[in-house]
Amino acid sequence: MNSKKKAIVVLGMHKSGTSMLANLLQLAGVYLGEEENLKGPAYENLFGFFENKEILDINERLLEILGGSWYKLPLFETGWAESDHLNDLYKEAKEILNKLSENHALIGFKEPRTTVLMPFWENVLKENFDIRNILIYRQPREVARSLMQRNKFTENEAIDIWFKYNQIVLDYLELKSFEIIRYEDLLEDAVSYSKYLFDKLKIDYSENVLQEIYFTVSNSLRHSSYSDEDFFKDSNYKQEYKQLHKKLITLDKKLNLSFRKTEFIEDKDLHIKTLEDKLDKIKRQMKQDWSNFENEMKNHGKTMEERDYYNWKLKELEKASKNKGNQVIIASIPIIGQLFIVYKFIKKQLSK
């Protein structure tokens, strides 16, 4: 009898839908950690990143030890994950996951750097966990455009990072069992693909979970759209980039032959209730956060004029949200600002 707990690891390049996939897994009952331990929402990810902050910290330090960063990857020499220099990180990582699984038999985590660091995380997990890997991929030009906007990379720089991440993870997964899903497919039919994945991963879920997934994922989350045909025809892109994307598509078709579309009827009343619950939660968070912020200002001798300034700033944020929809750039008060974005987004959904 297998007494190991199950760990679902979401793999995928930055800006490829890893946050959305982790969100769906969480909705189905996969434990990612307590809310305060997960990276919160921002203007580029309205519902949050669903990343464990401690795992993010381990990954950043690991890449630094290896002589690189998330966008300038180190040279991964053969057997790099067995180095004695990593012993302290191994100890920390095992403690993090043991704590995460203390009261949960089904856990998961997502952090894009994990995609190139799986030999390390496999060593951390393999003793106590049954590891299930899910790779999510996205059209390379769409990834590049997102990175160009967020990080000011050139298109060639961005696609080269996309190439390295996906090449490394496919080399790692070559002789392993794994699931693969395309970001664009998940946006197009989140219910069918989620149900399909949950069944393959043997995750129990209810009809209400599928309803919430239907509400949570929509094509409004898609910020650009480029066809594979145009990408393959474009002579500006290296042949190796095109071959890798074709390999991902081929693997997707091969491993998902049994996929079938699910018939689904939307429960609008349930969606409205879900939205209202989320809205109430965010209102409470904002109220508490504002109270904490005011107390902090008083403790540091802030003047009424300064408090008036922050009140004015919140009003400016509200104006910006009306003018720019979801693309609100938060200039100050990060926590309140992030909650404010989600608050406005949900208000907008309720008014539809």
Rg, Å, the chain Cα set = 21
Structure-block tokens of residue 37: 């331990």
> Which tens digit of pLDDT belongs to each residue from 188-244?
899 999 999 999 999 999 888 888 888 777 655 555 578 899 999 999 999 999 999
pLDDT higher than 80, residue 71: yes
Residue 133 pairs in a beta bridge with 9, 178
Cite the beta strand spans of 128-268 per DSSP E. Answer: 129-137, 178-182
Average pLDDT over residues 30-46: 80
SS3 154: coil
Asked if 169 and 118 count as a contact pair (C-beta separation under 8 A), the reply is yes
Task: Name every residue whose Cβ is closer than 8 Å to that of residue 208 and which is 6 or more positions away in sequence.
Answer: 270
Least-confidence region, from 78-87, 244-253, 258-267: 258-267
pLDDT higher than 70, residue 143: yes
SS3 24: helix
d(CA 10, CA 132): 9
> What b/e readout covers 216-245, taking b as 16+ CB neighbours within 10 angstroms?
bbeeebeeeeeeeeebeeeeebeeebbebb
* Per-residue confidence (pLDDT) for residue 286, from 0 to 100: 61
* Per-residue confidence (pLDDT) for residue 295, from 0 to 100: 65
Asked if 138 and 16 count as a contact pair (C-beta separation under 8 A), the reply is yes
Q: What is Dmax (Cα atoms) for the chain? A: 67
Mean pLDDT for the chain overall: 83
Task: Name every residue whose Cβ is closer than 8 Å to that of residue 64 and which is 6 or more positions away in sequence.
Answer: none
> Which tens digit of pLDDT belongs to each residue from 80-129?
999 999 999 999 999 999 999 999 999 999 999 999 999 999 999 999 99
Best-predicted range by mean pLDDT among 27-41, 290-304, 306-320?
Answer: 27-41
In terms of Cα–Cα distance, which of 17, 290, 51 is closest to 180? 17
In terms of Cα–Cα distance, which of 298, 287, 277, 244 is closest to 349? 277
d(CA 63, CA 109): 18
